[in-house]
Amino acid sequence: MELMQKKITIIFLSTIIVRIVFHFLTNFTFDDAFITFRYVENLVNGQGFVYNKGEHVLGTTTPLFTLLVSMVHVIGFKIEQAAMMVTLLSSGLTAVILYKFACSLRMTHFAFVPVLMYILFPRLLVTDTAGMETSFFTLLILLSFYYAHKQKDYYAWGMATLAALTRPEGFLLLILLGIKTLIRNREELLKLLTIPFTIIAPWFLFSYYYFGSVIPNSVTAKLALYSQFGSSSVKDKLFLILNISNYYGIVLILFAVIGAYWLWKKQNYGILAIVWLCGMIIPLALSKTLLFIWYISPIYPIYFLLIASLFPWLLNQFKFIANKINIVRRVVFVCILIALVGANFGKVKYFSEYQIVLEQVHKNIGLYLYTHADKNAIIAAEDIGYMGYFSKLKIIDRDGLVSPKVVPYNRDAKYYQVIVDYTPDWVVAAKGSATSGFIGDEKFLENYVLAKNFSYKSFPVYSVYKRK
């Protein structure tokens, strides 16, 4: 017991330390995270669950995470710090549960494999430290799978229910648990359904009366926006999701297939996990939307469990390895460590420079508007995270995430008509953006004058226009 406790402590602390180091080196925070931060700020300051004061729009898909960060913010931490505390704690707990899960699946000598992959996987280091809800959502999903494996159905349903309140994808696992229960233990279904009903029904009632809809506006906004541009082919999306543009991505898929076979044959486990993975991957590949890495990251802990299951299979196939198990473990550990640490060097360089762009351009635009625009001014902008949070002004989101009125315009590709119909005091547009082609139009320039350009190196120039 003492040895297990020591291992768990090392895993928990190592996960958090690695993420702190990565964030220290990059300081990276997604632009979208600041949309959530603005909801948190308004909620804590008594303005309500809103992005723009007085506009009841559910422009975030992560209400539970928003509420959790708000509670941490209330006790005295800055919003960015509060979000980081929640995500770091979630990451540490995810690594611990992943280790316990691997042990319960009898991976014995190789239970460290999925944990080491989780701790150092480049995409996860980014999404777990960039202010988003990803690590918290991932923890809830993994806990649900773990409790389901342990046949603790009430806990599994509870975690899946909380996941559904954190991100809409959580409903997929909740539905799959319902189907599983219907097939294997249907007399328990009604009892288990009381869990999501008790937790989700109040939120739906609140959403309907407060926002006018239970569906986050950001969902319909993205579908409308990316129906015109940004969506790549199914093949390209699968390559991105499965990371098979790199040779090691193909190898990992092969490992996962073999590992899944071993789990099914030896542990009678894996059907739910595989169906869930397919349910996450296939809709993303088929969807007409632009993919972001935080959409993909939650699949990895379960994916890593499948990959790690390859090694017990190898032990069964090659008995002579068992006599040299300690050597094999060390070789596997070192190979994974070297491969992932090496992969992270490029990520650190890329995201540290990306953060400079976000601060030099997006954040500075927000600060510029805060000091130069009238406090009652209306700003029409795209990429409204940093800009909206630091400007403190009313925003017409030209992407439509927090502005439902913009959605029909984007669906019909009438981007300039938004400006014509709502006559904002300021317009922020990225040169070369698919939604900003109007900035060179004579009619637009008759009413707006260029106030300032913001740029960094070769990255797209953002221009701020003021109404004449």
- The per-residue pLDDT for 217 is 92
- Chain centroid to CA 82: how far? 17
Q: List residues bridging with 428 in a β-sheet.
A: 464
Per-residue model confidence as pLDDT tens digits over 81-118? 999 999 999 999 999 999 999 999 998 889 999 999 99
Region 202-217 average pLDDT: 94
Short-list 381, 393, 389, CA closest to 430 = 381
Crossing angle for the helix pair 325-357 and 112-120, to the nearest 10 degrees: 20
CB atoms near residue 48 (< 10 Å) = 13
Contact (Cβ atoms closer than 8 angstroms) between residue 257 and residue 313: no
- The per-residue pLDDT for 236 is 83
Burial of 181 (0-12, 13-18, 19+ CB in 10 A): buried
Give the H or E element holding residue 78: none
Instruction: Give the whole-number percent of the chain exceeding pLDDT 70.
Output: 98
Give the H or E element holding residue 413: none
- The per-residue pLDDT for 326 is 83
Question: pTM, whole model, 2 decimals?
Answer: 0.95
Tokens of 248: 């090691």
- The per-residue pLDDT for 109 is 87
Short-list 370, 467, 380, CA closest to 430 = 380
Pairing of strands 462-467, 426-430: antiparallel
CB atoms near residue 267 (< 10 Å) = 15
- The per-residue pLDDT for 248 is 76
- The per-residue pLDDT for 231 is 67
List CB contacts of 300: < 8 A, sequence separation 6 or more.
117, 118, 121, 123, 124, 138
- Over its C-alpha atoms, the chain yields an Rg (Å, rounded) of 24
Short-list 36, 12, 117, 99, CA closest to 385 = 36
E-only strand ranges, 275-382 = 378-381
Q: DSSP letter string over 181-206?
A: HHHH-GGGHHHHHHHHHHHHHHHHHH
Q: What are phi and psi of 402, to 5 degrees?
A: -115, 10
pLDDT band at 245 (very low <50, low <70, confident <90, very high): low
pLDDT band at 316 (very low <50, low <70, confident <90, very high): confident
List CB contacts of 104: < 8 A, sequence separation 6 or more.
146, 149, 150
Distance between CA 420 and CA 376 in Å, rounded? 19
Q: List residues bridging with 450 in a β-sheet.
A: 465
- The mean of the pLDDT values for the chain is 92
pLDDT tops 90 at residue 285: no
Contact (Cβ atoms closer than 8 angstroms) between residue 196 and residue 174: yes
Distance between CA 70 and CA 67 in Å, rounded? 5
pLDDT tops 70 at residue 1: no
E-only strand ranges, 334-444 = 378-381, 394-397, 426-430
230, 257, 273, 330, 334 from 307: Cα distances, Å: 32, 8, 12, 17, 17
- The per-residue pLDDT for 230 is 63
Assign residue 48 a region: left if phi > 0, alpha if psi is -120 to 50, beta otherwise? left
Contact (Cβ atoms closer than 8 angstroms) between residue 49 and residue 210: yes
Assign residue 38 a region: left if phi > 0, alpha if psi is -120 to 50, beta otherwise? alpha
**In one letter, which amino acid is 421?**
D
Q: DSSP letter string over 109-167?
A: GGTHHHHHHHHH-HHHHHHTTSSSSHHHHHHHHHHHHHHHHTT-HHHHHHHHHHHHHH-
Per-residue model confidence as pLDDT tens digits over 288-309? 778 888 999 999 999 999 999 9
pLDDT band at 323 (very low <50, low <70, confident <90, very high): confident
**Scanning the structure block, which residue is given the tokens 């071993």?**
262
- Map residue 395 onto helix, strand or coil: strand
